[in-house]
Amino acid sequence: MAKVLIQVEVANPKEFRAALAGQADVLKAAGGRGIVFSGVNADRHNDVTVCMEWESVSSAQQFWRSADAQQMKKAWRAVRSQITVLRERADD
C-alpha cells in the first residue's frame, strides 16, 4: 500500500474537489483506493491538500507519470500542483 499526496493551488477549492470526485472511476482503475483526508490551508484558502491510498508505489508512480494523469490534472485548473508518492514505511 502507498499514499499519494496531492497539493494544489486553485482558484476555487470547491470546483477542484468536485473535479477530483468526478475522476474517482479513473483513479480507482489505476490503483487508487480512496481519499484518506482532504483539507484547505488555514492561511491560504486556495491551497488544498489531499491524501489518497494507493494499491502500490509502482502503480501510483506509473499512473501519475501517465498522459491520463496529466489530462486529469488539467481539469483541476490548478495554478500549481505537486504529486508525491509515499511509501508506508521508510524501510519498504
Contact 2, 56 (CB under 8 A): yes
Is residue 29 assigned to a domain?
yes
**pTM for this prediction:** 0.90
Residue 49's nearest CA partner among 14, 86, 6, 2 is 6
Is residue 92 assigned to a domain?
no
What does the DSSP 8-state code read for residue 48?
A: E
Structural domain boundaries, residue 37: 2-80
Is residue 40 assigned to a domain?
yes
The total of structural domains in the chain comes to 1
Is residue 90 assigned to a domain?
no
Tens of pLDDT along the chain (92 residues)? 899 999 999 999 999 999 999 999 999 999 999 999 999 999 999 999 999 999 999 999 999 999 999 999 999 999 999 999 999 776 65
Q: What is the CATH number of the domain that holds 28?
A: 3.30.70.100
For residue 18, give every residue at least 6 positions away whose Cβ sits within 8 Å of its Cβ, in sequence order, or none: none
